[in-house]
Every structure is written in C-alpha cells, then in structure tokens.
A and B are shown apart, each in its own frame.
Chain A
C-alpha cells in the first residue's frame, strides 16, 4: 500500500477544474452512468473521488486518470456539482507536471507544438484538397509554438518523452 497524503484532496481542489471534489457525497451516480466502468473494473469514478478524498495520491495520479472519455455524462448526472469528469482534468495535469503523460497524448502535444495542429495536414492531403477545389488551410505554427513555450508545454513534453516506456499500457 502506498503512502497516504492527507493534503491531496485540497491539492486537487486547488488545481483548475478540480474544485468539485470537495462537494462529492459518494452517491455513485457517476459510476452508474459511466460507459467505461462496464468494460473496465479499474475505472470507477466514485471510487476515484474516494481515493482523492482519502489521499491516495500516487495511485490516483499514476494509475487511473486516462480511462475517462470526457463524455460528460457524469457531469449531467451529479447532484452535487462534484463533477468527476472535470476533476480528471485536474489530476491529469498534476500527473503531467510529474512527467506522466500517455504516449498518444505526448504525440498529439508534439504535433501542436511543431505544426500548430494536433493532426497535421500532409503534403499529399494539401494536394488532394487543391484537386477538390478546397481552399488552402491557413495555420499559425509560430503562434502555437510561442504560446506553448510560454506556458512550458515544450519542457513538459520533453520530460515526459524520457519516461515513455513506463507510461504506455
């Protein structure tokens, strides 16, 4: 059993999008509405909130945050504005600061940093678009790079890259 961090709930609550954890009453409506839970026992939104409240920091940050689809069904069902679907953004960002980001997300962030787009338009697609009479796409690669560097995305991504092997699957 990993160490318990009694301050963890407040750390999450003070992270953007994490404040809902304070109002969770553990009713479990989120879990009963979650489309992932029925396929995967490890993903149980009510239990995730409980683990945050009780301070299981390491388990929450490094084992659980990337099973959520952000379908926001739980947000519409939560009677307390506990919003576990929002809280996952807070715990993912805390994990990311510690270099824990899934490989697929690192690749998406790298694309944004290097091309201004999550899914870049290839040279061949540009040619096909032209043949179809579609207008040229106009992207500001430079502005995306400037913004991402200003908020430290580039460092976050390079740090995550070195830990890639532990983080996939």
Chain B
C-alpha cells in the first residue's frame, strides 16, 4: 500500500529516530511512503481550542494536498491523526461548513473536495500487515523484552470518529507480541500520559505520567513501547522530570514501535545513545545483541 506521509511537527523537530526507522522498516512490509510537499502543522487540540474555522481550514489544507496526489494520509502522530481524521469526518457530514472552509482555502489556492482517507500507523500495521505477517517476517525474536505498551488516547478515542474501530488499546500489544516480546498489563494502561497539558499545566501532566510509570514498573516491564511522539516524550524525558520532582527513578527505556520492529526484522541499529532517547537504550540493546 502507498500512503501520503504526514510527518507532523514533533517528529521532524525532535524525534528523528522515529522517522528514520519508519522509513527503513516499513518498506519491508510493503508500505510505501510518499512525502507530500508544503504541509503545515495539523492544528492539534491547542489550536482547535482557539478557533473552529481556523482549525478546520489548516487541517483541510493538508487533506487537500493529499487529495491532489490521490493517496490516503498516513499519520505517525496521534495528535495529527486525530486532527486530520476529525476534520475529514466533520467536513464530510456538513457540506455547508465545507463550503465555508473552502472559502478560506481559496485564498491559498486550495480546495478540499472531501475524499481523503486518514490512517494511523497502528491501523495500517494492523490492517495492511497484521501480527501474523510480522511474526513470519522477523529474524530476531525479542524474547528478552517485557514491554509496557502506550497506545495513546487519540489512536483509539473517541469511538465516534473511528469509523472501523479496527484499532483498540490491545492492538499495539498484539503487534509487540508478534516481535517475540512479552507484554504486561499494568495499572492505568488505557489512561492518558498527560502529554497534552505539557507546557500548559505541568503539574497535572507530570502526575499523569508518573502514575503510568509506577504501574509499568510494578507490572515488571523492562521497557516501554509507544506509537505517538507526544507519549514518547512524556514517558522518556518525563522520567527525568519525575526524578527531579519526586526523587523516583524508573529507568525504563522507551522505544518507538518502529524501532522495535527494526530490531526484530534484523536491521542493524547503531548509536542507541543518540537523539530522541533520554533514558539510554544501550543496556537493553546489548542484551538483545548478545541474545
């Protein structure tokens, strides 16, 4: 399957490992990524909070670009996914509003006809690839890992905007298990990581991340796997903030799911200390290489 890649701000600005390993590993599963030009931010919930038409216009402009090249959008970030999916549904169901949004878009020479499909990486991996194919493809089962998964809210909620309900909080666990790793159930598994209030209300944000980390540690996890770049920062960098504020150390390395998939499919992944990861992956990686 071929998709218009909607990379989003956070991955391109802060998390190159997510992108790097997505680009390396997805072609192994026949997922082709087409870079789309001249995008903007998706307009996530903070922007949605300020102005309704402004949000829809910014999001619909991105949908219009994908529509021009005739491909469904693939989002790597839960917030991009939620904003673009919700916009596509609202404009599909309200032609009058679509006209209003297109009036704004005409000023930038764009029109959104309403055809773009929006998919999440998790959805694509689940529907186009599936756990069975992952299991059959992997070369290095990651049996040393006990994974606490963090799906994130906007991949699965609210139900009313997820047309197929193909993805549930269990989907990521199924895909992780297909790499040979074990997954753990933990307290507050389906609860928000607190990411949306980072920088807006840091105290709440920190408390939410902390309760998840507590649950993960208690359940015996030795690492975390995320599919959302906001959840990633919240649970990775968040561990250092929690150490400072609460004196608690969790030392749970956080993988982007595509990194895990890369490891399992036998990609040689160098320089684990680099870039995205604040909690070093090296000890776990060495263990995997030796194993």
Q: A residues touching B (Cβ–Cβ < 8 Å)? A: 16-17, 35-36, 39-40, 65-67, 69-73, 75-76, 85, 88-89, 92-93, 96, 101-102, 104-105, 107-109, 112, 116-122, 125, 128-129, 132, 134-135, 137-144, 146-148, 150-153, 156
Bound together, the chains give a CA A17 to CA B38 distance in angstroms of 29
With A16-B52, A75-B157, A137-B12 known as contacts, the answer to whether A144 contacts B41 (CB < 8 A) is yes
- In the complex, the answer to whether B35 meets A147 with C-beta atoms within 8 Å is no
Chain A positions within 8 Å of B160 at CB level = 75
- In the complex, the answer to whether B108 meets A89 with C-beta atoms within 8 Å is no
Interface string of B186-210 (1 = CB under 8 A from A): 0010011010110111011001100
Interface string of B48-89 (1 = CB under 8 A from A): 111111100110010000000000000000000000000000
Bound together, the chains give a CA A144 to CA B43 distance in angstroms of 10
- In the complex, the answer to whether B47 meets A66 with C-beta atoms within 8 Å is no
Chain B positions within 8 Å of A105 at CB level = 46, 49-50, 200
Q: B residues touching A (Cβ–Cβ < 8 Å)? A: 7, 9-10, 12-14, 16, 19-20, 23, 35-41, 43-54, 57-58, 61, 104-105, 107-108, 110, 153-154, 157-160, 188, 191-192, 194, 196-197, 199-201, 203-204, 207-208, 275
Bound together, the chains give a CA A151 to CA B59 distance in angstroms of 14
With A120-B13, A128-B16 known as contacts, the answer to whether A93 contacts B50 (CB < 8 A) is yes
- In the complex, the answer to whether B41 meets A150 with C-beta atoms within 8 Å is no
Partner of A117 from B13, B107, B157, B199 at Cβ < 8 Å: B13
With A17-B52, A135-B35 known as contacts, the answer to whether A108 contacts B58 (CB < 8 A) is no
